[in-house]
Chain A
Amino acid sequence: MSGLNTTVADRLQAAGTANALELRGVSKYFGALAAISDVTLTVKPGERRAVLGSNGAGKTTLFNCITGDFLPTAGTIRLFGEDVTQFPAYERIRRGLRRTYQISLLFNELSVIDNIYLACRGVSRARFSMLRPRVNDALLNSAIDLATVVHLLEFKDTLVANLSYGQQRQLEIALALAGAPRFVLFDEPAAGLSPSERAELIDILNNLPSHIGYIIIEHDMDVALRVSESVSMMHNGLIFKEGSPLEIESDPEVQELYLGGAHE
């Protein structure tokens, strides 16, 4: 991007329109603590990226900055070419961004189908509608479809508070897929899942429509490397390495960091 923008591709790149998500020099300070510092990250439409790093590396803070849970201290965030740095979270969501949470954030006093219905309603019109949905309501039908995707159809009238942990994690994913997502942030979706549930999760992620890109934070390398085509490594709030899953796996610096010099 430096120097003269000679080719069309370069110029598009410079304008930020070529990317689904583009972070430029994003930093977030909590007091004097830099949770993330000077993060620059570009993700193309449909690209599946894994963000790896130890605890406290700033991965979730990065997600919170992207969704707008809080504003970054410095830097700009572009979503499909649009500068959304100052946008509130709900405006970014309405533009096709979705996220899941590391610790499930669900509506415990509502039923499964109500949870998904709210997610569908949030990105459509008539959020303030005082009229109950009719039979064959389009959004209600798509909520039922989503419940089927995550195997929760038979529990659709169960209160979320009464679901098992694994079912809550699945509902978390259903909420993120509501509406027409264009880019999803998955925050440790496999945490606490059983091996069979993990396989199911990998299946869901790999079968998402190809135009939906995502970033996934995952501690389980086995999951992360099987659902992503590129990897960013974070440490102490910095992205220090990017590459394909194979490159990252075989990188000595990464091994050093992850294995903590156990070979010495």
Chain B
Amino acid sequence: MVDPTEQSSVSDTSGPLAQRSGGVHTLRESNSALYRWLSSIPPSYAVFACVLLLLPAVSSSFVLSQIFSWGLILGMIGLSLMFLGGYGGMVSLSQMSVAGLAGYMLAILGSSAITDISVGWPWWLAVPVAIIIATLFCTVIGLLAVRTEGIYTIMITLAIAAAFFYFTRQNYVLFNGFSGFNGIKPPVLLGINWKNPVPFYYLTLFWATVAYLSVLYVSRAPFGLALQGVRDNSRRMAALGFSVTAHRVAAFSFAGFIAAVGGILLVWLNGQISPGTIGINPAIDILIIAIVGGLRRPIGPFIGALIYVILRTFALDILTSMGLAGERFQLLIGLGFLVIVLWSPDGVLGLWDKWRSRVTLRDPWNRALGKSAITSANKSPSISADTDKPL
């Protein structure tokens, strides 16, 4: 990480006035918490952040939109499933419906090419209202789903996803039926047209990071901790004074909010939304993304989403280059996921942990200490060890 003293010497040379360097000094002191926070970030994370920030410089606009922006958005929707499934033990198949409702609401309340239906509210009003409606929708799904456990939660949420899909396809008054809405544009703000690939990439990167960090943060806060308690042992949670039902429903609200933000971005990326966006297949795709990436940690869905979009985008090219018929691309995608899940039930994250533990055990020093990376990687840091870090 950047050494604070080094940085102050740099600012000293750039500003020769003593007064100015004094100003920098007080600024540094007031920001000491920030410095501590920055220096607590592992170098690998900093490198990874730099790569994400510098991507637009090296990738084409097609790759930027169709791989990275799309991947980040699907990762966010997958993250909402990871939050419910990984921390709450509730696998919900209706997260794509929640995202879709946010998108639909944006199209209906904001402006689109379907002027007969779209109300034409400005984006700053339509977006928050759409997110609130979708979050409420997810809360209602939670109210219905939390009365069940395990496979029945999956069934109920799948039924809701199916019902919502058929409803949007058959309702022409509000949802414009089969064709849905098109011509939905992100706003032009601060002189930037956010529809352009580079600004839009940064927009999705920003919100995906916010969603990722907030899930990470909440997972160690009382709310997230209690949710993991509910996952591990709901009966004991009730015997500690927690209302298990209320906690599960609140988890659905929180996850719904993340999915809703993802839904808004998805509609802005595609410029359109139709029942095909929110059908059963996309709903299952979100589950695949979360499971392939790994449900244990919030980074999992983003890894899964990246693999998914890469396979989706290039499977057809790979097949045709091998002289096979291109229409079988779904087969290749399915095989890819099958291989990952067979190899590691914990998804890509599980493979990563396994590899880390093997490398650590090969190191004679660690072997002597009996250290195993898999335990340290899988172990969520304890709340007490964690309090001095802001995240």
- A interface residues with partner B (beta carbon < 8 Å): 67-69, 88-90, 93-94, 98-99, 101, 105-111, 113-114, 117-119, 121-123, 126-135, 137, 140, 144, 156-157, 159, 175, 178-179
B238 in the interface (beta carbon within 8 A): yes
Confirm or deny: B383 has a beta carbon within 8 angstroms of a beta carbon on chain A.
Answer: yes
Contact with A along B372-389 (1 / 0, CB 8 A): 000000011111111110
* Any A CB within 8 A of the CB of B370: no
Is A130 in contact with B223, judged by CB distance below 8 angstroms?
yes
Q: Do A89 and B239 touch across chains, with their CB atoms under 8 A apart?
A: yes
A62 to chain B, nearest CB (A): 15
B242 CB contacts on chain A under 8 angstroms:
90, 118, 122, 127
Q: Which residues of B contact A117 (CB under 8 A)?
A: 225, 383
B222 x A107 contact (CB < 8 A): no
Of B226, B242, B381, B388, most buried by chain A (CB within 10 Å of CB) is B242
Chain B residues whose C-beta falls within 8 Å of the C-beta of A110 in the assembled complex:
225, 228-229, 232, 380
List 7 A-B pairs, Cβ < 8 Å.
Answer: A90-B240, A105-B236, A108-B232, A113-B382, A119-B240, A122-B240, A127-B241
Q: Within the complex, what minimum Cβ distance (angstroms) separates B337 from chain A?
A: 26
Which residues of B197-218 are within 8 A (CB) of A?
217-218
Q: How many interface residues does B have (CB within 8 Å)?
A: 37
Contact B222 A129 (CB under 8 A): yes
Determine whether the beta carbon of A130 is less than 8 Å from that of B239: no
Query: Are A88's CB and B238's CB within 8 A?
Result: yes
Looking at A93, A99, A128, A178, the one whose CB has the most chain B CB atoms below 10 A away is: A128
The answer to whether B225 touches A118, judged by C-beta atoms less than 8 angstroms apart, is: yes
List of 5 A-B pairs having minimum Cβ-Cβ separation, nearest first:
A122-B241, A122-B240, A107-B232, A93-B241, A105-B236
B221, B247, B250: most-surrounded residue (chain A CB, <10 A): B221
Chain B residues, Cβ within 8 Å of A129: 221-223
Q: Does B297 contact A (CB under 8 A)?
A: no
With A121-B222, A159-B379: A132-B386 Cβ-Cβ less than 8 Å: yes
Complex-state Cα separation, A89 to B225, whole angstroms: 20
Instruction: Check B382–A111 contact: CB distance below 8 A.
Output: yes
**Whole-angstrom distance from the CB of A220 to the nearest CB of chain B?**
24
Query: Which secondary structure dominates where chain B touches chain A?
Result: helix
Q: What CA separation (Å) do A21 and B385 show in the bound complex?
A: 40
Restricting to B163-213, which residues have a CB under 8 Å from any CB of A? none
Contact of B383 among A93, A99, A111 (CB under 8 A): A111
CA distance A118 to B240 in the complex (A): 8
Alpha-carbon distance A117/B224, docked complex (angstroms): 13
Q: Which residue of B lies closest to A175 (CB)?
A: B240
Q: How far is the CA of A114 from the CA of B237 in the complex (A)?
A: 13
Q: Which residues of B contact A111 (CB under 8 A)?
A: 379-380, 382-383
Closest A residue to B238 by beta carbon equals A89
B217 lies within 8 A of A132 (CB): yes
CB contacts (< 8 Å) of B244 on chain A: these are 90
Are B236 and A106 in touch, CB under 8 angstroms?
yes
Residues from chain A with Cβ under 8 Å of B388 in the complex = 135
* Residue ID in chain B nearest A110 by CB atoms: B228
Which residues on the A side are within 8 Å of B246 (C-beta)? 128
In the complex, A13 Cα to B77 Cα: how many Å? 59
Of the candidates B220, B239, B382, which one forms a contact with A67 in the assembled complex, judged by CB atoms under 8 Å apart? Answer: B239
Specify which of A93, A107, A114, A178 is in contact with B233 (CB 8 Å cutoff).
A107
